[in-house]
Amino acid sequence: MNSNEPIAVPDVTPEAATGAPASVFAEACPSRRALELVAGKWQLLIFPALAAGPARNGELLRRIEGISQKVLTHTLKELERNGLVLRCELKGTGRSPLHVEYELTPLGQSLSETLIALDNWAERHHGDLQAARERFDAQSPAQETAGRLVHRLR
């Protein structure tokens, strides 16, 4: 092969694969898998936890209350597999043992900004959601039906 010849790089975008633009509403679209990957409860907490910089496993366990070691390990491996998290093995000095840190890749950092905004929204509005649940739960069945009919007529 001549070094002056251009190298053909295949187009791997959803549009090239299916002929249709990417749409999370289309069942076969790969973007749906991307949403499934990042929309879990623990993923939504891991990204912001790593946004400040690399963290060791134990630090993540302390920061993300309620997550088990097994779930944290599985989730980090899946995020690493998809290029969102980088696992860094750091050799100890002298008698210090090897330790592992996790950090966001540039792709993970780009997603983290969006997820931090979602976390901030949840922290600002959890009281509003609780109040709405309490109002809804306090309604009698007749009020509930009437409210739904009025809502449908608007």
CATH code at position 94? 1.10.10.10
pLDDT tens string 73-123:
999 999 999 999 999 988 877 766 688 999 999 999 999 988 889 989 999
Which domain range does residue 132 map to? 27-153
- Residue 16 lies inside a defined structural domain of this protein: no
Q: For position 85, what pLDDT does the model report? A: 97
User: Under a CB-based contact definition with an 8 Å cutoff, are residues 54 and 60 in contact?
Assistant: no
pTM of the model: 0.71
Strands (DSSP E) found in the chain: 55-56, 85-90, 99-104
**Domain for residue 19, yes or no?**
no
Q: Structure tokens of 143?
A: 């009020």
Residue 42 near residue 53, CB atoms below 8 Å: no
Q: pLDDT tens across 62-82, in order? A: 999 999 999 999 999 999 999
CA distance 68 to 74: 10
User: What is the reported pLDDT for 79?
Assistant: 96
One-letter identity of residue 71:
V
Higher per-residue confidence, 71 vs 149 = 71
Do the domain assignments include residue 8? no
Is residue 5 a part of any domain in this protein?
no
In a domain, 9, yes or no: no
Q: Per the structure, how many domains does the chain have?
A: 1
